Amino acid sequence: MHQETRKLLTIVTESALETELCDELTRLGAGGYTVTDARGRGSRGVRDAGWASSGNIRIEVICDARVADRIAAHLRDRYYSDYAMILYLSDVSVLRPEKF
């Protein structure tokens, strides 16, 4: 089975950002993304103030490290000081059935 090692970037943030942020992901080089509705609690970015909300989203982007860096830098510059947000990366092996 053909596998490609990629980064899985997960973004948990406020659902009000969904439309704008998803447009930007594409523009920043993401080939796709998956959004699910979520709720939860966390500390808020640079402010470290508590936040609790049922209006969260969880966005997953599979991309290479360079695109993940670009997305993270953009989120930092544009949203991080004003919106609740957590970002994390893990390694995944994407299966390419067309190359099996």
Binding site for its own copies (CB under 8 A): 1, 3, 6, 8, 10, 12, 22, 26, 31-43, 45-46, 56, 58, 62, 69, 72-73, 75-76, 80, 85-95, 97-98, 100
**DSSP SS3 for 97:** helix
CB nearer to its own copies: pick between 10 and 64 = 10
Q: What is the 3-state secondary structure (H, E, C) of 45-83?
A: HHHCEEEEEEEEEEEEEEECHHHHHHHHHHHHHHCCCCC
CB nearer to its own copies: pick between 20 and 39 = 39
